[in-house]
Structure 1
Amino acid sequence: MKKATYSDRSIVVDILTQAFSMNKSVNYTVGGKVKRIRRLMEYSFDLCYRSGEVYLSDEKAACILFLDPEKRKKTSLKTILWDVKLAFGAIGILNLRKVLYRENLVQKHHPKHRMRYLWFLGVHPSQQGQGIGSALLDQTLNLSSLPVYLETSTLKNLPLYERFDFSVYQKLDLPSYQLYLLKKDPTPTIC
């Protein structure tokens, strides 16, 4: 595993675009068009690179993006431009209202304390099922003493996250899918 640099951006975006092309939550957000999914992943990389952490597996077949919500709160002209580009170039004006509704709903269930937010974990489709994503998740979970939160709309991902001590703390029924909110408390250190 390595911490991604900005020169890894296209690799990360390619992995995520392909890995999430059929994802219900992502398609709800951007309308299912590959071009829009790519723009969402570009935005996600840029934001996590600035306000979080981005990691790549050694074979560059998997990536994981963590966002630090506290750092995300820091607004700049650059982040405003990214948000506008996301709204117009990826989400689209017609989808904006439903996406903002969903994001507000999710935010209501997030904790008020510091946390790490696992935004995306993606494995290139040709490499899925080989344990690469699990290994990357395992390597990155203990890099912080903060609890980790995430959402998934993919039922088959629940057993993976449960193996890493995540638990579902809320299930949201959205118009075309269910969204599972999960958390993992930090592993206590033994002195």
Structure 2
Amino acid sequence: MVETTIVPTRDLDVVSSLLAQAFAEDPVTRWVTSDPRGDVLMFRTLVRWAHHSDVAHDLALRDGGFAGIAVWDPPGHRVSRTNQLRAIPGFVRALRAGIRRGKYLEDTFSKLQPKEPHWYLAQLGAVEKGVGVGTALLEAGVARVEGPAYLESSNEANIPLYERFGFEVVQEVRLPNGPSVWPMYRRG
């Protein structure tokens, strides 16, 4: 069996490329924009301006290559107004007509996040599904975090994986004319 190793990274090119690959067929990503050509820029903008913190991202290595990525925001992380404004041009170029849907996601899920301090698993994606990359990324992340954690699962098939690590579905949010998203919470 090939082992998955988790190492820290701050390489924005690697992070955004892996997320674009991992989320290429994600129901919510495709609801926001049907054109995958903007995915790398969308994730680059998201990670650079919304999830930039002192916490390095978890990079999964498998069989000599990049296999997946996890982006965690620490408790108390907030996106500054300046960074929100800096993100707009990237999102407009990446999402084009999907910009309204992207804004809807942000507005909806920012209101659903827990009020108490918590770790936020913003993105977790594996390039190759079903080989343990997601499990390895979650093991590394959950071992490091202290206290509660929160995520939004954009794919119902991933819920059992998150449940194995103590996350529980809080509710199901049906997007207008689109798929569902499942906010999940893990007590500390």
TM-score range normalised by the length of the shorter chain: 0.7 to 0.9
Displacement of 1:52: 4.6
SS at match of 2:19: helix
Which residue identity lines up with residue 70 of structure 2 in the other structure?
Answer: I
State which of 94, 97, 103 in structure 2 corresponds to 1:90.
94
More helix by share: 1
Does the 8 Å contact 1:15/1:62 carry over to 2?
A: yes
Q: Distance in 1 between matches of 2:56 and 2:116?
A: 19
Aligned to 1:37: 39
Q: Distance in 2 between matches of 1:119 and 1:160?
A: 16
SS at match of 2:76: helix
Q: Distance in 2 between matches of 1:156 and 1:180?
A: 11
Q: Distance in 2 between matches of 1:52 and 1:89?
A: 27
Aligned to 1:73: 79
Does the 8 Å contact 1:51/1:71 carry over to 2?
A: no
Displacement of 1:151: 0.9
Q: Distance in 2 between matches of 1:51 and 1:150?
A: 19
| Identical positions, percent | 24
TM-score normalised by L of structure 1: 0.83
Distance 1:37 1:102, change over 3 A: same
Displacement of 1:116: 1.3
- After superposition, the C-alpha distances for 1:104-133 in whole angstroms (9 at most, x for unaligned) are 2222221111111111111113xx211122
Q: Which runs of 5+ in 1 are unaligned?
A: 187-191
Q: Distance in 1 between matches of 2:23 and 2:130?
A: 15
SS at match of 2:29: helix
Displacement of 1:37: 1.1
Which residue identity lines up with residue 144 of structure 1 in the other structure?
Answer: V
Aligned to 2:3: none
Q: Which runs of 5+ in 2 are unaligned?
A: 1-5
Q: Distance in 2 between matches of 1:71 and 1:154?
A: 25
Which residue identity lines up with residue 152 of structure 1 in the other structure?
Answer: S
Q: How does 1:127-166 map to 2 (within 5 A)?
A: 128-166=129-167
Root-mean-square deviation (CA), in Å?
2.0
Does the 8 Å contact 2:38/2:95 carry over to 1?
A: yes
Does the 8 Å contact 1:51/1:72 carry over to 2?
A: no
Aligned to 1:189: none
Q: Distance in 2 between matches of 1:170 and 1:86?
A: 31
Task: Report the number of matched residues.
Answer: 178
